[in-house]
Amino acid sequence: MSKTAQLLVATNNKGKLREYAELLKGLPFELTTLSEQGITEEVEESGSSLEQNAVRKATAYASLSGLTTLADDSGLEVDALGGEPGPLSRRYAGENASDKERNDFLLAKLRDVPREQRTARFRCVIAVATPGGGIAMSEGVCEGIIAFAAKGEGGFGYDPIFYLPELDKHMAELSLAEKNRISHRAQAAQQARHILERLSRIQ
């Protein structure tokens, strides 16, 4: 495989793109983005699970671009809410809600829930699709607790309210390097690296 073979990272989320740039370093692919490829079509996340959404995005953008494509769907699963928001994490507080509005909305729902019942996890499912229709998947999980208030300036999404007991820090207090050692996306990306290394040998 040529060292300039491209891998499309199918997200417009700048935070995710920053993380993937680090997590996928050293692979025999040149990372490219939807905007760099001039792709403006939005693939609707209409699946009922993270797996369905990741596959839907990866296969659609692989077909549109003609490139091997990596797409993920990530969600926060809160035990006291029966696993919500899950696949609806981005739209939980409304279609155009900001990260702060999503965090505030979730904290309000958990206002009367005691600490021991605020267990939650971030889950990330990555799908890697080839233009020929091949698909492979990986998954990562990061366990934590929903805090009572937001803290930290880093990360994005629900990171400010996700507390990591073993580190005594909120996810948003971690440096990118720290987050990329323990996060759900880091774990899924580590497995995806193996998938991509195999692909690079057979293409």
- Over the stretch 54-63, which tens digit does the pLDDT of each residue have? 999 999 999 9
Alpha-carbon dihedral sign for residues 138, 144, 146, 150: negative
Does pLDDT of 2 surpass 50? no
Average pLDDT of the segment spanning 18-33: 94
Query: Could you list the active site residues?
Result: 73
Residue 47: per-residue pLDDT: 85
34 and 46 Cβ atoms separated by less than 8 Å: no
CA distance 10 to 21: 12
6-202 CATH choice from 3.90.870.10, 3.30.2290.10, 1.10.260.40, 3.90.950.10: 3.90.950.10
Residue 203: per-residue pLDDT: 66
The bridge status of strand 30-33 relative to strand 6-9 is parallel
Does pLDDT of 1 surpass 50? no
Instruction: Kindly report, residue by residue over 27-52, the tens digit of the pLDDT.
Output: 999 999 999 999 999 998 888 899 99
Extents of the domains making up the chain:
6-202
